[in-house]
Chain A
Amino acid sequence: MILPRERLLELFQAYPRDRRYALPLLQDIQKQCGYLPKEHIIEAAGYLGVPLSRIYAMATYYRSFSLEPRGKYVIKVCDGTACHIKDSKNVLETLKGLLCVGVGGMDKDGLFSVETVNCLGACALAPVMMIGEEYFGKLTEESITEILEGFRKREAVVAGI
């Protein structure tokens, strides 16, 4: 989602024009849009008076930033040591079967996108994944299907269907 210009300028106004505010500014954009649209990165560099190459470097360095559009719900599948041993690969396979997307991809409804992370810090629940801010542990093929169904139902309620 690309923000209208006025809304973007509003975001910028929260910070002085200085390179040290580049990170919080990018975080704000990411929060509003779900990703960092190219146009916004260029505008941000211009506003802060920082070379575009630096902002681009920063945006590609941090894993929490994405230059590609992401789904409404970002599924973070843990691939840390414990989850890896507990077959996190199978979690990814199951998600791939259900959503038809691999790691880094977004499903065709724009509802879910799938990422891997190195550790979610909940190894006792391995294999574990996060959807948005919610944790889901001890995953099985059945539970993953249920969880995704739950989110779909929630969306349907929101949409008033």
Chain B
Amino acid sequence: MNIQIDGKTCIAEPGESILETARRNNIDIPSLCHHEALPGLACCRLCVVEIEDATGNRLVVASCVYPVAESVTVYTNTEKIKKHRRTNLTLLAGHVPEVKGVLLAYCREYGVIRDDSHMKAVVKEKCILCGLCVTACEALGNSAIQMAMRGIDRVVAPPFNEPSLNCIGCASCARVCPTDAIDCESVSGNRKIWGKTFSLVKCAACGEPYATVDELDWLKGKLLDTELNLAYCPNCRRRVSVNTGK
């Protein structure tokens, strides 16, 4: 189906979200809590866009969860949308005053000056509580972390704030995190994450550490009858399988 985004005709797949269609067609919509492999969370609210239906009614929606429809026209960068994004950025930046990276870049792009004089911000806080790490962990099938507590005490944490038995140290949570809020250290053959230490496995070809022992054990359980050679890192594995024809 075809959909109009910012005056450009874009081809959309049924069931896709506006955000996915737009990004595939090189139209940039800012967002923090979206990952292409995971369903939309509609949490950071930076991906808001305006849609106009056949009767001319306009509506502000979160594009990461709004499914595409032929009858709507999408505007991603109107003054109204910019204003909404500025408000949301102000709130996010107030919550995590010292955060760098994507959020800081968006703040600069939208001209948001961090003013936390009227709110009590936790200076060291980096997490915006978008829940992307929780969703990623769940999607992988481990569910080692969850949003615990409520209100101002809300945190992402493993059960009882203790190292989780389910955690395999894959660090997917840290990788998807838009604000680098999850502490993950890899030093001298060990990876430390969520208070648990994992031994890293080195690739048989290039020698780079690429996974933890627990992660590979877990993968072996999942891939019972596939001949994936887990001795190599994903890059080398590709090369080896091309060379050996396996």
Contacts and interface: CB of A to CB of B under 8 A. Distances in A.
Interface string A48-63: 0001111111001101
A38 interface: yes
A56 B157 CA distance: 10
A87 B149 CA distance: 28
A51 B160 contact: no
B216 interface: no
Q: Which of B146, B150, B165, B166 gathers the greatest number of chain A CB atoms within 10 Å?
A: B146
B122 interface: no
B3 to A, nearest CB: 36
26 contacts: A41-B159, A51-B138, A51-B143, A51-B144, A51-B146, A51-B166, A52-B164, A52-B165, A52-B166, A53-B143, A53-B144, A53-B145, A53-B146, A53-B158, A53-B166, A54-B143, A54-B146, A56-B160, A57-B148, A60-B148, A60-B149, A60-B150, A61-B148, A61-B149, A61-B150, A63-B150
A60 B151 CA distance: 11
Given A53-B166, A61-B150, A38 B143 contact: no
Contacts, number: 37
A41 B146 CA distance: 15
B147 interface: yes
Interface in B153-167: 158-160, 164-166
Interface in A20-62: 38, 41, 51-57, 60-61
Given A51-B146, A53-B164, 17 more contacts: A41-B159, A51-B138, A51-B144, A52-B164, A52-B165, A53-B143, A53-B145, A53-B146, A53-B166, A54-B143, A54-B146, A55-B159, A56-B159, A56-B160, A57-B148, A61-B149, A63-B150
The interface size bin for chain A is 10 to 19
A38 B160 contact: yes
A53 B150 contact: no
Q: Which of B147, B160, B165 gathers the greatest number of chain A CB atoms within 10 Å?
A: B160
Contacts of A56: 146, 148, 159-160
A59 to B, nearest CB: 9
Q: Which of B142, B148, B150, B159 gathers the greatest number of chain A CB atoms within 10 Å?
A: B159
A55 B158 CA distance: 11
